[in-house]
Amino acid sequence: FLAAEDTSSLQYVKFQSSNFENILTWDDGPESIPGTVYSVEYKRYGETEWLAKEGCQRTTQKSCNLTMETSNLTELYYAMVTAFSPGSLLDSKRSDRFSSLQHTTIKPPDVTCIPKVRSIQMLVHPTFTPILAEDGHQLALEEIFHDLFYRSELRVNHTYQMYLEGKQREYEFVGLTPDTEFLGSIKILAPMWSKESAPYVCRVKTLPDRTWA
């Protein structure tokens, strides 16, 4: 290949990670050439050899799913993207050091809101990640972040909220007025890792009280 001068036809090589789904993304640079294709390699921090990522060789895409290749939580990784135009290597850029434990963001939880006459129940469903435990089961977020807890909130009226929080997955706000609409929300927090999900929000109405009907 003719290694063209660094024509910066490649920029912003970085990992985007959410719930441990790790996607490498990049942009073509200001001086990119039509017909440019890209190849991705990756390696563990501390190792010498770069490994080619199957499925992301000579691709026109500007992203590559490296979830399985970067799934070891105690490891840190680098990725490299090389840009080629027909007949020559244009540019090569490396990502920052990547640790999914530190970098991943947490998505809102999956929740079921159940209205009753004088209460509202909120059930949080576990969030499973692509990370496999030694026995092969998919790890849930709770198994990865030791300090993970849920914070549920019910906006009662404009002046205050009801808060319930903890590691359990079931919450019930009691003592409510029947046949009234409330705004409920739950988010996931892992303070040690400065992680906080956006809230899952449900607008729900308590059931009418038919005992006197």
Q: Is 208 a residue that touches other proteins (CB under 8 A)?
A: no
Q: Give the integer Cα–Cα distance in Å for 184 and 112.
A: 11
Q: Is 60 a residue that touches other proteins (CB under 8 A)?
A: no
Q: In this complex, which beta carbon is closest to other proteins, that of residue 47 or of residue 170?
A: 47
Please pick, from the candidates 1, 30, 34, 157, the single residue that binds other proteins as defined by CB under 8 A.
157
Q: Is 16 a residue that touches other proteins (CB under 8 A)?
A: no
Q: In this complex, which beta carbon is closest to other proteins, that of residue 136 or of residue 175?
A: 175
Q: Is 159 a residue that touches other proteins (CB under 8 A)?
A: yes
Please pick, from the candidates 31, 96, 110, 170, the single residue that binds other proteins as defined by CB under 8 A.
96
H/E element, 101: helix 100-103
CB atoms within 10 A of CB 89: 14
Q: Give the integer Cα–Cα distance in Å for 78 and 94.
A: 7
Please report the sign of the dihedral spanned by the C-alpha atoms of residue 160, residue 165, residue 170, residue 174: negative
Nearest 5°: phi and psi at 142?
A: -65, -30
Q: Give the integer Cα–Cα distance in Å for 67 and 45.
A: 16
Q: Is 210 a residue that touches other proteins (CB under 8 A)?
A: no
State the residues that interact with other proteins by CB under 8 A.
Answer: 43, 45-48, 74-76, 78, 94, 96-97, 99, 101-102, 118, 146-147, 156-157, 159-163, 173-177, 191-194
